[in-house]
Amino acid sequence: MNLPIYIVSLKRDIERRNKINDVFQRLNINFDFFDAIDAKDPQNKEIIDKMRLSGVGAEMTDGEIACTLSHQLIYQDMIDKNIEWAVILEDDVIVNEKFKKFLQYFNLSEKDKLKHNNLYLLGGQKGLHDYPVLGQSLFRKLR
């Protein structure tokens, strides 16, 4: 089983797309860009405002709401295509050989340990205090 890899990226951000494409080609990792909802596109203003008015994301920026909606669209795509597991990355992700080893290791031995209907965060970001146990244990084994 090869994990599908989605990379969330604004269609207009050609420079980021080229950069991430070069890295993934060099590592020989297949992926697909998923066109993110662009908060700066006036056509998306209505859905962003509707979400904010519903009380969801009231304290979020337009960009954060658009990013959240983009991820929800990926989850729907996974359901529509009957994809059980996938890796979802932002287009500013930093990947190297360790990521490739993670994918190989995961494909071989770890998927049966995952619980269905769970979401696993394997990386981090500013403000994200928890370091995922699964990601931590897999990366420890790869050292």
For the chain, which residues make up each domain, given as ranges? 1-94, 96-143
Handedness of CA 81, 122, 142, 138 (dihedral sign): negative
Give the whole-angstrom CA distance, residue 142 versus residue 50.
45
Q: Which residues pair with 8 in a beta bridge?
A: 34, 90
CA count, 13 A, side-chain hemisphere, 84: 8
- pLDDT given for residue 102 in this prediction: 81
Residue pLDDT, tens place only, 106-124 = 765 666 667 766 666 666 5
Residue pLDDT, tens place only, 27-57 = 999 999 999 999 999 999 998 888 888 877 6
pTM of the shown model: 0.77
DSSP code of residue 86: -
| Nearby residues of 91 by Cβ (< 8 Å), 6 or more positions away | 7, 8, 9, 10, 13, 16, 17, 20, 33
Mean pLDDT of 15-36: 96
- pLDDT given for residue 121 in this prediction: 66
| Nearby residues of 130 by Cβ (< 8 Å), 6 or more positions away | 121
- pLDDT given for residue 125 in this prediction: 55
User: What is the strand order of the sheet 87-90 is part of?
Assistant: 32-35, 5-9, 87-90
